[in-house]
Every structure is written in structure tokens, then in C-alpha cells.
Structure 1
Amino acid sequence: MYFAALLARTEDGWEASDTELDDVETLDDLADLAREATADADETVLVLLEQEDIWYSVIRIDGEDDPRVFVSNAAAAGRSAYGEILLTPELLGREPEDDSALDSLTDLDGTEDGEPDADTGADADSDADPDAPPGTPAGPVGDSELLADLGVSEKQLLALHGDAVNEIADLLGAADVLETVR
């Protein structure tokens, strides 16, 4: 089960609203949804997303700037319905794929990606989560400093587990408003 909420930072403090992500297909769609949640286009909006203590994500939208994203566990998110939205090639440190390139279909040795290497019998990504998309790292990815100016340090963000969304809201001073939409 997923929980998603929007926290908008206004002159009067934080305002929370729950949100449905059913119509969101891209990170840009998610950013547009967040921008619509506030009357002032320059306000900071956070999208807090979690899947039952398995992984969480914070997406920060500041006005028209590109969204900043942090995902606590990329491999777990990659197995979820929202991983495709959040785990962009840029976030994972890859170049966007060129679907027309023949090189994307086979490795230099002629085997397909993920196929056992004939010489060793080992899988090319043996350390990766077998259920996650190929090349998805286990552990956190993204901008772990995206809340630092709001009072949540990188160290605090990386140490969160379990009910991380509520802990983030508490650290931001927004726990009460988040509780109203939970």
C-alpha cells in the first residue's frame, strides 16, 4: 500500500493535502500536480511518497525549477508501480537510452544484458536485486540534501527507516498538518 501527500510551504506555515497519483505517468506530471497544489507559484512543495515501510521518496519542487528527488531504496522502488516515474536515467546516473541503438540490445561480448557470461557462468549484475530493473542500485539515490535548508540534514534523511514520511514531517514541523490527511 502506498501513501502520498503534498506539503506546500506557505507564508502561514505548511499546508498538507493527500493526492492520488493514478494519472501521473512521468516526473514532469508529478511536478505539475505539485505546482497545482499551491496558489503561489514560487512556493516550495514537497511530495512525500512511501510504500509500507519498504521505501520512501521526497520530491521537491521550487517554483518552475526542475524537481529534486531522493529515493531511500532504488531497488525496492524499482519493483514498485512508481519506480518508473521516479527512477529516471538522470537520477540513476545514466545517459537516457537511445532505443534505436543496437548496442542497447547486446553487450560487446554478444550476450544480451543480464544473460550469464559463457566464460564464467555468472550473471553480469550478480550484486543487483533480481526483481529490480537492470542497473538499479540497492540503497538510496538522488539528492539527499534536498531538505537541508528546511532543517532536515542529509544525515537525518539517510538515517530514516520505517515511518519515514511522518518523521520527515515531524522534523519539518508539519506533523500535525500531515496527520490531517493521513
Structure 2
Amino acid sequence: MYFAALLARTEDGWEASDTELDDVETLADLADLARESAADDDETVLVFIEQEDAWFGIVRVDGEDDPRIFVSDAAAASRSSYGELLLTDELLGRDPEAAAAEDAALDDLVELDIEDDDPAEVDDEEEDEETTDAAAAAVPAGPAGDAGLLDDLGVSEKELLALTDDALGEIAEALGAADVLETVR
């Protein structure tokens, strides 16, 4: 089960809204969604995404700045469509050109024409599973991203890395936004 919410910082405190991520396909789409929820162009907006008992992610958008991302468990998030939004090449420390070359090589292999009666033929579903398993194996277990993204808001890197149960609730509590977050849960 997933939970996603936007917390926008205003002059009067934090405002929370439940959000649907069904139409969000990229990190840029998610950042645009966050910016649209801000009443003022330079407000801080936090996007909370959580998969119950598996991982949580935070995306911080400050005006037109690039989004800052933290994911509690990259390997667990990589097995989630919402987690995949957050796990950019930059976040994982991968060279985007090398990743593109690997993807092109995989595409070339998939496009090879294999005769129907060839015993070496691999079922498309098995290929997809193997590709997904290989991609997941390339993602490190544990936290990834900018663990200091909430330092100036009262949640230190050390505190963020130590969170486990109800991490988003504890973060909201530290921000003074527990009540508004609870209203959208």
C-alpha cells in the first residue's frame, strides 16, 4: 500500500494535500506537481511517498531549483513504480551515458530474430524478469540521496537516517506539520 502527500510551506505554516501519482511518469513531472501546489513560486514543497513497511522517499522542491531527493531503501524502492521515479542515475551515482549504452545493448539483444523452433528461444516474460532482476541488483540496499535535505527544517541527517517506523509522521512532527499530514492520511 502506498501513501503520497504534498506538504507546502506557507507564511502561516504547512499545508498538506493528498496526491495521486498515477499521471506522474518522471521526476520532472513530480517536481512540476509540487511546484503547482505552492501558493508562492519560492515556497518549499515536500513530497512524501511511502510504501508501508518497505521504504519512504522525500522530494524537496524549492522554487525552480532542482529537486533534492532522499530514499530510505533504494533497493526496496527500485521494485516499486513510484520508487523508480526517485531513483535517478545521479542519485544512484551512475553515469547516464553508460546507463544509456547498457539500455541500448539490452534493446539490441531483445531485437535479435530467433527462429520459432530454436530451443534457445527465451520467453519475453522471462527476459523482462531477468532484466528487472538485473536492474534491481544494480541498486544498492540502504539509503540513497541527500540525507541532509531537511537539515534547515529541523531534521538532521543523522535523525533522518535513524528513522524506521512511521518515519513520515516523525518528520512531520519535527516540522510542526503532524496534524496537517494526519488529515490527509
Name the TM tier (shorter chain). Answer: 0.7 to 0.9
Runs of 5+ in structure 2 lacking a partner? 107-132
Partner secondary structure for residue 3 of structure 1: strand
Identity of aligned residues (%): 73
Partner secondary structure for residue 50 of structure 1: strand
Runs of 5+ in structure 1 lacking a partner? 107-129
Tell me the alpha carbon deviations over residues 61-110 of structure 1, each in whole angstroms, 9 at most, x when there is no partner: 0000000000000000001111221101000001114577479749xxxx
Aligned residue in 2 for 1:37: 37
Pick from 131, 135, 139: which aligns with 2:138? 135
* Kept after mapping to 1: 8 A contact 2:10/2:39: no
Q: How many residues align?
A: 159
Aligned: 1:64 with 2:64: yes
* Kept after mapping to 1: 8 A contact 2:9/2:45: yes
Could you tell me how far apart the structure 1 residues matched to 2:102 and 2:65 are? Answer: 35
- Aligned residues: CA RMSD: 1.9
Partner secondary structure for residue 75 of structure 1: helix
Could you tell me how far apart the structure 2 residues matched to 1:10 and 1:165 are? Answer: 19
TM, length-normalised to structure 2? 0.81
Pick from 142, 147, 150: which aligns with 1:147? 150
* Kept after mapping to 1: 8 A contact 2:147/2:160: yes
Could you tell me how far apart the structure 1 residues matched to 2:27 and 2:142 are? Answer: 20
Could you tell me how far apart the structure 2 residues matched to 1:87 and 1:173 are? Answer: 28
Counterpart of 1:139 in structure 2: which amino acid?
A: G
Q: Which has the higher helix share?
A: 2
Question: After superposition, where does 1:1-182 map in structure 2 within 5 Å?
Answer: 1-97=1-97, 101=101, 105=105, 133-182=136-185
Partner secondary structure for residue 20 of structure 1: coil
Tell me the alpha carbon deviations over residues 122-169 of structure 1, each in whole angstroms, 9 at most, x when there is no partner: xxxxxxxx5862310000000000000000000110000121111110
Residues 102 and 6 (structure 1 numbering): CA distance in 2 closer, same or farther, change over 3 Å? closer
* Kept after mapping to 1: 8 A contact 2:58/2:71: yes
TM, length-normalised to structure 1? 0.82
